[in-house]
Amino acid sequence: MSKAYLESIKKCSRCGGCQAHCPLYLETFREQMVARGKMELLENLQKGSIQWNKKLADIFSACLLCGSCTESCPNGVFADKLIMHGRKELVENRGLPIIKKNIFQHLLKYNGRLNIAGKILYLYQKIGLQKLLRVAPILNLVSNDLGNIEAMLPKVASGPFRGRFPYRNTVENPRLKVAYFTGCMTNLINHNVGYNIMKLLKAHGVEVLIPEQVCCGVPAYASGDFAAGNFLAQENLKNFLSEEVDYYIFDCATCLSTWLDYPELLETDKAAKASKKLMDINHFLVEVLDIRIDAVEYGVKVTYHDPCHLKRTQRGRTAPRELLKRLEPAYEFVEMDLADQCCGSAGSFGLTHYKLSQQVGKRKLDGIKESKASIVATACPSCMMQLSHVLKNDKSQSSVKHLVEIVGACFHRS
């Protein structure tokens, strides 16, 4: 662990202020779940007082990396980054679980293989095997949570989104040129998000490049496999820096956040150069394009959930709300209680810690219900999947949409 991070550990005064902000501690009241407990363990690991073992691996896996502890720390301890670097040391010491190792080394690095995996999931849903397994609870015979985890799977597209568009989507006399990082979820699942982005940008005179790209690397980084994460990051930078553009745009809060960390993770001038042009699509629509829509009266109530990885970026909290307000009276924006509280997804955390993840997610329900919103808007595919599952389990009639889907629908009606 670097000297800077070792010094950061020492800043932790064990005041316990992070307890009031940690979603996992609020559900379990267990000291090992909160940042203070993990900082104590990390310090002892650095001193050699304790060694990495399975129990410590379980403790350090139980973190959403939501950053709430870091944001609230009076001493400026970067607890979420320290925990991620702790996982890196864990992997160097004990290796990766076999499933994660194969996913990171043999799937995420290769788009062809990832597309095949997506096709298999599409056929699994299309031919009725999914319905069969859900009617006959076979999966739950294998594991108590396997059936519940499978129920989180959204509808998979028949093929990759990026395969449906050329590298360059040209417009006449473009006012701007951007490169679009679709991420894995939009590419394989949320095609409607991508279609609406392309429609909105083309209508506003923006030329869009969709370079060759791989996963942003966050599943590997978050699991401590920095070698795989760095490989993916370097591939993305190589492809995106090959042509000059005005901005790199993202529809996924987590992908954006990961790219923003590339300079620190890779320590290269290329990463630093790219970081100056990164922008969330909502921020881009509001601040750069200054999009205005004269939409017809529609009157659907919509509320907004802050993705953890977006709300701490530039205008990450304000731009999405400004965009929603510009859609009135087509949509009536209603702020919900605990809008900026983590939903409990955190990528694969919902798969490895299903019950705990759902407990955190259920905390969002009261705020959604009180808002009386028909639609919960957000800007992160992982949050979309989690919130949809939580609402479905509660038999709620509210739906979850990416904010650009709502904007695109308004634009179509205007």
Q: Is residue 250 part of a domain?
A: no
Q: State residue 226's pLDDT score.
A: 96
Q: Is residue 127 part of a domain?
A: no
400 burial level (CB within 10 Å; 0-12, 13-18, 19+): buried
CA–CA dist 130, 223 (Å, integer): 29
CA–CA dist 15, 19 (Å, integer): 9
Residue 295: φ, ψ to 5°: -90, 155
User: How confident is the model over 211-222, as a mean pLDDT?
Assistant: 96
Condensed to tens digits (0 to 9), the pLDDT of residues 134-159 reads 777 677 666 677 888 888 999 999 99
Per this entry, what is the length of the chain? 414
Q: 211 with 242: CB under 8 angstroms?
A: yes
CATH of residue 389's domain is 3.40.50
CA-based nearest residue to 252, from 364, 387, 347, 170: 347
Q: Is residue 275 part of a domain?
A: no
Residue 276: φ, ψ to 5°: -75, -15
- Which of residues 73, 94, 115 is at a domain's end? 94
Q: Which residue would you say has higher pLDDT here, 23 or 299?
A: 23
Q: Is residue 402 part of a domain?
A: yes
Q: Is residue 173 part of a domain?
A: no
Q: Is residue 114 part of a domain?
A: no
Q: Which domain holds residue 12?
A: 3-94
* SS3 letters across 230-244: HHHHHHHHHHHCCCC
Q: State residue 170's pLDDT score.
A: 83
Residue 414 has pLDDT above 60, yes or no: no
Domain count, the chain: 2
Look at the block and give the residue holding tokens 């360059």. Answer: 168
Q: State residue 142's pLDDT score.
A: 63
- Which of residues 94, 128, 151 is at a domain's end? 94
CATH of residue 26's domain is 1.10.1060.10
Q: State residue 285's pLDDT score.
A: 97
CA–CA dist 329, 98 (Å, integer): 52
Q: State residue 143's pLDDT score.
A: 67
CA-based nearest residue to 84, from 63, 53, 105, 104: 63
What is this structure's pTM?
A: 0.94
Q: Is residue 364 part of a domain?
A: yes
Chain-wide mean pLDDT for the chain? 92
User: How confident is the model over 63-70, as a mean pLDDT?
Assistant: 94
Q: State residue 330's pLDDT score.
A: 85
Q: Is residue 212 part of a domain?
A: no
Look at the block and give the residue holding tokens 């550990």. Answer: 9
CA–CA dist 54, 36 (Å, integer): 20
Q: State residue 395's pLDDT score.
A: 95
pLDDT cut 70: percent of the chain above it: 96
Q: State residue 228's pLDDT score.
A: 97
318 burial level (CB within 10 Å; 0-12, 13-18, 19+): middle
- Which of residues 71, 94, 117 is at a domain's end? 94
